[in-house]
Homo-oligomer: A and B are copies of this chain.
Amino acid sequence: MQLATLSTHYAPRTPAIARPISLDCLGSWHSYETGETVYGQEDRSDYWYQLLDGAARQCTLTSDGRRQIVDFLMPGDLFGFRAGSSHDCCSVESISSDTTMVRFQRQQMESLMESDPNFARQVREMAFASIDRMQSRTILLGRSRALERVSGFLIEMASRARPETEEFVGLPMSRYDIADYLAIAVETVSRSLTTLRVGQVIAFFDTRHFRIVNRSALEAQCCN
């Protein structure tokens, strides 16, 4: 029984071919197309999930119709756990084609952790890593200026990519997704990216792939 490699926010993540949490069919494989819903905002939390390949967004709808993206899920990420059995007001949707997940029964996980302290420790550490990530996210959202948020987001995405691909970082999500993640308007995202591009801080291969040209300048922008 083995979890995919533990990874923190600023450390390189598990590569796209992530090892599933279970090797003995405890979990069931599922595949999703772009835009498909993994679970809805009102569903009960009877399962845990681990994303193996592709990408997904964890989002919530507000009563005034806006959308908030709470987290982007990348290969290796374990999610769906929450306190009690109440839903966390979030739905999860795939954002790339051929996104694959493993789904685990919550009850089964519970009893397994009860009997296997080592497994329990791994889950705990993934939860702690998740806390680390959300704390970084909070700090990112705390930036008052749009350019700082976008810069911090790009650094985050670069660090979540595989180390060997830092020279070619992919953005699986649309500009709209980035906007809802950073809580700024799409146009502002676009303008900030343009500013960074013309300032020789980053370079784009296409709209969804970029490279950091001047890392220190980028870090100076996001102020941390």
Contacts and interface: CB of A to CB of B under 8 A. Distances in A.
Interface stretch (A14-22, A116-124, A199-207): A116-124
Interface string A115-141: 101001101110111111011011101
A63 B223 contact: yes
A68 B124 contact: no
B128 A183 contact: no
Q: Give chain A's interface residue range (CB within 8 Å of chain B).
A: 35 or more
A82 B117 contact: no
A25 interface: no
A130 B132 CA distance: 11
Contacts of A88: 132, 135
A3 interface: no
Interface of A: 6, 8, 60, 62-64, 66, 68, 70-71, 81-84, 86, 88-90, 110, 113-115, 117, 120-121, 123-125, 127-132, 134-135, 137-139, 141-144, 180, 183-184, 223-224
26 contacts: A8-B84, A8-B86, A62-B223, A64-B223, A66-B223, A68-B139, A68-B142, A70-B135, A71-B138, A83-B128, A83-B129, A83-B131, A88-B132, A110-B121, A113-B120, A113-B121, A114-B121, A117-B117, A117-B120, A123-B124, A127-B127, A127-B128, A131-B131, A131-B134, A134-B138, A143-B183
